Amino acid sequence: MVERGTALLRKLEINVAEAEKRTGKNTVNMQETYTVYLIEIRPAETEGGTPAAPDTLWRRYSEFELLRTYLLVTYPYIIIPPLPEKRAEFVWHKLSADNLDPDFVERRRVGLENFLLRVASHPVLSNDKIFFLFLTEVSIADRLYGVYKVHGNYGRVFSEWSAIEKEMGDGLQSAGHHMDTYAASIDDILEEEEHFADQLKEYLFYTDAVRSVCRKHELIQYELEMAAQDLVQKKQQKEELATGTVRIFSLKGMTSKLFGQESPEQKESRLAALEQSIQEGEETVKEKNTECQEFVRAAWDDIERFKEQKDKDLREALISYAIMQISMCKKGIQVWSNAKECFSKM
């Protein structure tokens, strides 16, 4: 059960109300069938007791994955709630392995709603701006598609209008043609949008690789510390054996008290074995220390290379995106300028 203790859940009710199967083109222009989920949010308290109409938007499972990846990267010290499984990996007697199977989709819908509620109930995650935008903002591509769809409607209206107007017919038809051309360009623009989004997502997914390098360093450092600790213990054993003093309780010390001291030969043999073990331990510590230093040096060099590459790639991508947006705006201005000329000639 999710507690409604945070400010966000006190203000809003969040639901994943339904799932819907859709068909469309993916980033490589291939036809695919996928599932989208309807997120509904509404004020938790309403005036007069009448429930307010919910704000709604549709999200794909992949968008939930991007949100969770963002939370993992931004809040590494927080235990991020899990998502439901992406594919039907545990197939029971009556459950299909089809990802579009209604039973599986319903289970996933419930899991996605639970994920949103758990994030919204967290004292830190619930205040994240990106999470709030995920719940409230339709994607740029959807807004863009809506703008171009409106222009397509303008074109249809002007064309139909021109058929019933004698004096203004040519001007309306020409304006409609400009609107239709502008509306038809949406597919190419959305394809470019997807390309830019993929470039940004690539570096989001790079986080796992960077995290893997850090984990490897932690493992090498741990091995170095264990080897150093083992060496300290062996040197302490040698000192105790040589001086005959025992600093801490040990089974060997207790055995000596019960059964008498070792003979000089046994003591020398043990000292020699400890000396050999200490030399090997010192060599191991030296090797581990060298390995750790070399790893840090190589990793740091590659991280610096990666940062330069990342800065260059993202700078180029963002500049190209800005140029594309400027081009789109100029095209829109040109369309309306042409339409204005058409209207002026009527």
Q: pLDDT for 97-155, tens place per residue?
A: 555 678 888 999 999 999 999 999 998 999 999 999 899 887 655 655 566 666 666 77
| CATH number, residue 198 | 1.20.1270
287 and 240 fall within a common domain: yes
93 and 125 fall within a common domain: yes
What is the chain's Cα-based Rg? 34
Q: Cα-flanking dihedrals φ and ψ of residue 119, to 5°? A: -65, -45
Evaluate whether residue 234 is within a structural domain: yes
pLDDT over 90 for what percent of the chain? 24
Residue 150 or residue 219, greater confidence: 219
The domain boundary, picked from 107, 138, 169, lies at 138
Query: 285 pLDDT exceeds 90?
Result: yes
Is the pTM for the entire model greater than 0.75?
Answer: no
Evaluate whether residue 230 is within a structural domain: yes
Q: What is the mean pLDDT of residues 325-341?
A: 86
What pLDDT, on a 0 to 100 scale, did the predictor assign at position 144? 57
Q: Which residues fall within 8 angstroms of residue 185, CB to CB, at 6 or more apart?
A: 148, 331
Range of the domain at 176: 152-244+274-345
What pLDDT, on a 0 to 100 scale, did the predictor assign at position 283? 95
Evaluate whether residue 256 is within a structural domain: no
171 and 121 fall within a common domain: no
Residue 111 or residue 211, greater confidence: 111
Residue 230 or residue 138, greater confidence: 230
| CATH number, residue 82 | 3.30.1520.10
Domain count, the chain: 2
213 and 341 fall within a common domain: yes
132 and 157 fall within a common domain: no
Evaluate whether residue 332 is within a structural domain: yes
131 and 162 fall within a common domain: no
Q: pLDDT for 166-199, tens place per residue?
A: 777 777 788 778 777 777 776 677 777 777 777 7
Q: What is the mean pLDDT of the chain?
A: 80
Q: Give the Cα separation of 346 and 333 in Å (integer).
A: 20
Evaluate whether residue 72 is within a structural domain: yes
* The three-state (H, E, C) secondary structure of the chain, written as one string: CCCCCCHHHHHEEEEEEEEEEEEEECCCCCEEEEEEEEEEEEECCCHHHCCCCCEEEEEEHHHHHHHHHHHHHHCCCCCCCCCCCCCCCCCCCCCCCCCCCHHHHHHHHHHHHHHHHHHHHCCCHHHCHHHHHHHHCCCHHHHHHHHHHHHHHHHHHHHHHHHHCCCCHHHHHHHHHHHHHHHHCHHHHHHHHHHHHHHHHHHHHHHHHHHHHHHHHHHHHHHHHHHHHHHHHHHHHHHHHHHCCCCCCCHHHHHHHHHCCCCHHHHHHHHHHHHHHHHHHHHHHHHHHHHHHHHHHHHHHHHHHHHHHHHHHHHHHHHHHHHHHHHHHHHHHHHHHHHHHHHHCC
Q: What is the mean pLDDT of residues 5-32?
A: 76
Q: pLDDT for 289-321, tens place per residue?
A: 999 999 999 889 888 988 998 899 889 988 988
Contact 95, 72 (CB under 8 A): no
Query: 3 pLDDT exceeds 60?
Result: no
Evaluate whether residue 177 is within a structural domain: yes
